[in-house]
Amino acid sequence: MSEKNREAKRSARERLQQERAADRVREKRRRTLVMSVAVVGVLGAVGVIGVVAAEVGKDRSDSAGQPASAPSGAVGKGGLAIPVGAPDAPSTLTVWEDFRCPACAQFENGFRDTIHELERAGQLKVEYHLATIIDGNMGGSGSLRAANAAACAQDVGKFSPYHDVLYRNQPLETDDAFAKNSHLLDLARKVEGLESAPGFRQCVEKGEHDDWVKKSAAAFRTGGFSGTPAVLLNGESVLPKKGSENLTPDNLKKWVEEANKGKTSAAPSASASAPASAPVSSPVSSPAV
């Protein structure tokens, strides 16, 4: 092989080595750049998360620090429950629910007649606590707006029938129809005298009980509940079952009667709504939301 050819091959090897070295330098720079961008992105995300978390915490703490306008007659710890039935009824059903929650509607539509029957007989009072879990899960504000409207109905003595109307007319979980005050006012027309009751419209439109609803929702979040509805009879959870027995309308009536043995029923209550026209007797089978 001539000296000229050897020199050409040597030059080619050197060029190849130089190109590979340059490639390694470029790749190192590229990786450094990617890592730098990633680090900046992570730090930025952490910053955003911190800001969001701070803002969420700020919103909740600010709301917690404000005086909440409780609806008329609210009872329980912090005045966060709306009572239905005779105050001196021997048994208490505590219900945590969300007006957008499908499982809550199933519970209400399945147990409404039995609950109202026990209320009217003076055997049971119900304390309703309102949550906004679906607003948090699905977005929107229908849970909050409906709960405020229900609290406004409580102010004028119409909570129970309006509560029932809202569940009978619950939209799909993905449809935030309850976010519209106009829709809530339209539904109020289904309750005699509610839509025209003094102060009701203003209460709904101005969100006069929003802070109270937010306090109730915060109490739900810290209450150790797994979802809505949460149903307790005299402080004992009965959904989905009590002991080995499933929650059904018949079992609920039986449990109340057993709990009330030896106790005096209250005077018949007129505060409960009239029975639904189409009673449903099936047990609640859907999981809590």
**Domain limits, the chain:** 1-65, 77-259
Q: Taking Cα atoms as reference points, which of 141, 157, 86, 95 lies closest to residue 119?
A: 86
249 within 8 A of 110, measured Cβ to Cβ? yes
Please enumerate in sequence order all residues whose Cβ is within 8 A of that of 212, keeping only pairs 6 or more positions apart, or say none: 68, 69, 70, 71, 74, 79, 80, 151
Positive or negative CA dihedral for 265, 268, 271, 276? positive
pLDDT tens by residue, 15-65: 667 666 656 655 544 443 333 333 333 323 323 322 222 223 333 333 444
Cα(104)–Cα(110) distance, rounded to whole angstroms?
A: 10
Q: pLDDT per residue over 224-282, tens digit each? A: 999 999 999 999 999 999 999 999 999 999 999 999 999 988 887 655 554 333 333 33
Q: Are 103 and 276 in contact (CB under 8 A)?
A: no
pLDDT in tens, 168-194: 999 999 999 999 999 999 999 999 999
Q: What is the pLDDT of residues 113-143, one digit of tens each?
A: 999 999 999 999 999 999 999 999 999 999 9
- Whether 171 and 101 have beta carbons less than 8 Å apart is answered as no
Assess if CATH 1.20.58.760 describes domain 77-259.
no
CB contact burial 220-245 (16+ within 10 A = b; e otherwise): beeeebebbbbbbbeeeebbeebeee
What's the average model confidence in pLDDT over 201-213? 98
